[in-house]
Structure 1
Amino acid sequence: MAGIRKTDPRLWSSLAVMRGSVGLSSLHFCVPTVLWLPHQPKHLDLNGNEFTLPNFKLRDIHAAIPRNCFRKSISTTLYYVSRDLCYFLLTAGITQIFVPLIPNLYLRFLAYTFHTLLSGLILTGIWILGHEAGHNTLTPSPTINSTIGFILHSLLLTPYFSFQATHAKHHQATNDLKNDTVFVPQSRAQWIEFFFGRDANPKSPVFAELAEDAPLVSLWHCILHQLLGWPGYLVDNATGVESKHGFPYASHFWFFPSSLLFNDSQLVGVFLSDLGIGCMAYILWRCVLTFGWWNMGIYYFLPYIWLNHWIVAITYCQHTSAIIPHYTPEVHTFILGALSTVDRPNSFLFSIPLPPNPWRSAISINIDEIFWHNMNSTHVLHHLCSTIPFYHAAEATEAVRPLLGKHYHSDSTPLWKALWDSQKNCQFVEESVGMDGSGVFMWRNLHNGGKNSAEGMRDSKEEERAIGFAKSFLRCLFFDKGLVIPPPKW
């Protein structure tokens, strides 16, 4: 048995021969017609847990959502838009008036730093409102939605109509390995070639050492991912399926017929988006000349860098996790893609301790609820039904959770840790062992960085299971013919 591996059929063919040579009459009391294998092939995620394909009808999911969740309100939308803009202006005004009065240089530096962080959180919420406008969920009027979205996204240097078009494709092909527009993972061979070159030999001892978990390398990749991910995606479709073509043909700013991202009917919108970006760039330049680089850095450019970071962190963690599958186009469906996302409730929660009192011992500040319009905690629902306004998304999420059961993915891991874990452990995707051709790909890595190594787990228990099954078979065959072998629990 020591030489038998999980892919070696010798044990099972020999048992079949034994069964045939002894005869069915002597075995029918103890062995069923079909022999159980040492492990039935199954989809295993990076943590070693079994994944099964969900089987839902979209109409059943929509039927579970209360009808009031689909209602759109102009007044509610205008409230949130004006509120977020007031947040930003008020924060800038308070900083401009009071921070220069702080005498200590280091405390003043900390105050300015806190301002850039807070303003970045607020700008992210404003960007999310523009994203919602692209889904036509803010108001019943597409014209009003487009106007609000175009203004908000142009203020934040995001090409509104261009992003709206590619984002719609993303919703239709979420986690489709050939058709998704963002965060498309690499195969094992692609990943090795990208990081180690074409001549890399995975069987080399040197390669094994290089492939080990290296926190500094992971940190460097994470920094580049967070700083350059969003502009890289806009400029040359970084992490998208067309990224290999790069700028200009895979750019969100390319409004010519040679574009790989847009059809002819969308090119006018791309041009208008570029025009909005150009106008905002001119306004920023005039502001720099008027107020100086220091003020513009504090009140716009540094918060904008935080905005870039949060956009990438939020969306990356929503679509990248050890438990999330990807699919080939032949297997992918809208439902499978929509359920291949993760809600992250309370993943950005601050608790401020207070002196004991009869009512409360701490203040909890939920960034997602206060600034990000619950985008981080209702993303699964957003993919299942993107026409629901964000201010009804929490109620709709609670309505569909019982129906989805185990296929609803939610993770309250702090966002920073989730980002780090995914960057470090989710390196490439491939089909589970024995599931070749299934079209279902799970995350893997070269350093077995999941909570349990899926492959290692199977390798370590395979021989034990095979021996146990063989002993049960032989004992039943020669000694206990009156007993029935129970199905082994693989």
Structure 2
Amino acid sequence: MVPYFSWKYSHRRHHSNTGSLDRDEVFVPTKKEALPWYTPYGRLLHITVQLTLGWPLYLTTNASGRPYPCFACHYDPYGPIYNDRERVQIFVSDAGVMAVSFGLYKLAATFGFWWVVRVYGVPLLIVNAWLVLITYLQHTHPALPHYDSSEWDWMRGALATMDPAYGILSRVFHNITDAHVAHHLFSTMPHYHAMEATKAIKPILGEYTSPTPRLWPRRPGARSGSASTSSPRTARASSGTITSSSRLRS
């Protein structure tokens, strides 16, 4: 279960520090040499755990999140993720989680544990897997750079995202998948303007957008979609050395 204000504040910091190896709050890439399990079987196990337990592990242990000098947890009001002004609302979020947990306990006492697993637990696992999948693919690709503190700035980070296209599913899910670059550039924009904004910014960004892989191949003669990503040319347009996810993970 997601503590509302806790995630609100950490997600705001993700938007403020997207693409930063030092300050981004989630999907921070790890160097290959730091991954002793980086084998085909190890990657398969990692993907399985990420899709099933990744979201609760991120909330409880900050898995794949920003490296902090001490233990970080979304449920801890005094953890390093939050400042003093935010701590009261973290307590409020925790109270909400405890209230829902008590409600689930009462349902289990009334209808049985396995009834709650079927009606609540299984759908929750599916939602968690979908959430992790789409957000991971929006921030992880060989073409997407990640920057250290000497090169990162907000605009570079916002453009270091992508818009994976899922065909008709993109419309079913209100285009939360294929309008992510615009969401990072204009995070206060209502979601119902996201596709309009995506189409408007593509000509402005020019070479810094490029087509992305689709869930299935486009039909011959079909109109070009809105899927876009920050181009590998981003690295050539800036000075110095860019640290990319492809260099870190492959």
User: TM (normalized to structure 1)?
Assistant: 0.44
**Residue of structure 2 in register with 1:153 after alignment:** none
The alignment partner of 1:388 has SS state of coil
**Of 26, 30, 34, which residue of structure 2 is paired with 1:182?**
26
- Quote the Cα distance in structure 2 between the aligned partners of 1:282 and 1:373: 32
- Distance 1:412-1:329 versus aligned 2 partners, 3 A rule: same
SS at structure 1 position matched to 2:243: strand
Could you say what secondary structure the match of 2:176 adopts?
coil
In 2, the alpha carbon distance for the partners of 1:393 and 1:181 equals 23
Structure 1 SS opposite 2:245? strand
Shift of 1:379: 0.3
Identity of aligned residues (%): 35
Separation of aligned partners in 2, 1:252 and 1:441 = 28
CA shift at 1:172, angstroms? Answer: 0.7
Report the counterpart of residue 48 of structure 2 in structure 1.
223
Pairwise CA distance, 1:414: 2.0
Rg: which structure is higher?
1
Match of 1:284 among 82, 104, 116: 104
Q: 1:443 to 1:255 in 2, by over 3 A?
A: closer
Q: What amino acid sits opposite 2:12 in the alignment?
A: A
Taking structure 1 as reference, are residues 447 and 284 closer, same or farther at Cα in structure 2, changes over 3 Å only?
closer
Kindly report which structure 2 residues correspond to 1:453-472, keeping only aligned pairs within 5 A, or say none. none
CA-CA distance at 1:383 after TM superposition: 0.1
- From 13, 17, 33, the equivalent of 1:192 is 33
Specify whether residues 223 and 374 from structure 1 end up closer, same or farther in structure 2 by C-alpha distance, changes over 3 A only.
Answer: same
* 1:393 alignment counterpart: 194
Residue 77 of structure 2 contacts residue 91 of structure 2 at CA under 8 Å; is this kept in 1?
Answer: yes
> Secondary structure of the residue that 1:266 maps to in structure 2?
helix
- Which structure exhibits the higher relative contact order, with contacts defined as CA atoms closer than 8 Å and separated by 6 or more residues? 1
1:245 aligns with 2:245: no
CA distance in 1, matches of 2:110, 2:210: 49
Say whether the 8 Å CA contact 1:342–1:410 is kept in structure 2. Answer: no
- Residues 446 and 175 from structure 1, CA distance in 2 versus in 1: closer, same or farther, beyond 3 angstroms? closer
SS in 2 for 1:369: helix
Relative to the length of structure 2, the TM-score reads 0.84
In structure 2, stretches of 5+ residues that fail to align are 217-234
Output the CA distance in 2 between the equivalents of 1:311 and 1:447: 22
1:235, 1:439 → 2: CA distance? 34
Q: Matches of 1:285 and 1:296 in 2, distance apart?
A: 9
2:88 aligned residue (265, 268, 271): 268
Query: How far does residue 447 in structure 1 lie from its aligned partner after superposition?
Result: 9.8
Q: Structure 1: 5+ residue runs without aligned partners?
A: 1-156, 197-210, 350-365, 416-431, 449-490
2:10 counterpart residue number: 166
Tell me the CA shift for residue 411 of structure 1.
1.9
Contact 2:30 2:248 in 1 (8 A): no
- Which residue identity is paired with 1:402? P
Report the Cα distance in structure 2 between the residues aligned to 1:446 and 1:367, rounded to whole angstroms.
31
Output one character per residue of 1:3-54: Cα deviation in whole Å (capped at 9) or x when no partner: xxxxxxxxxxxxxxxxxxxxxxxxxxxxxxxxxxxxxxxxxxxxxxxxxxxx
For the 8 Å contact 2:143–2:246, the answer to whether it is kept is no
Aligned-pair RMSD on alpha carbons? 2.2
Partner Cα separation in structure 2 for residue 244 and residue 311 of structure 1? 27
Secondary structure in 1 matching 2:187: coil
Deviations for 1:412-457, whole angstroms, at most 9, x for unmatched residues?
4329xxxxxxxxxxxxxxxx9xxxx924112346996xxxxxxxxx
1:333 to 144, 153, 168: 153
CA contact (8 A) 2:141 2:246 kept: no
- Matched position secondary structure for 1:332: coil
Structure 1 residue 397, shift from structure 2 partner: 0.7
The residue correspondences of 1:13-412 to structure 2 (distance < 5 A) are 157-187=1-31, 191-195=32-36, 214-242=39-67, 245-246=70-71, 250-256=72-78, 259-345=79-165, 347=166, 349=167, 366-370=168-172, 372-412=173-213
Is the Cα–Cα contact under 8 Å of residues 173 and 179 in structure 1 kept in the other structure?
yes
| 1:47-98 alpha-carbon deviations (Å, 9 max, x no partner) | xxxxxxxxxxxxxxxxxxxxxxxxxxxxxxxxxxxxxxxxxxxxxxxxxxxx
CA drift of 1:227 comes to 1.5
Deviations along 1:204-262, one digit per CA (max 9) or x if unpaired, are xxxxxxx6xx433321111011122111111121111236633xxx1111113xx2110
Count of matched residue positions in the alignment of Structure 1 and Structure 2: 229
Which residue identity lines up with residue 235 of structure 1 in the other structure? T
Q: d(CA) in 2 for partners of 1:237 and 1:446?
A: 20
Rounded Cα–Cα distance in structure 2 between residues aligned with 1:375 and 1:245: 33
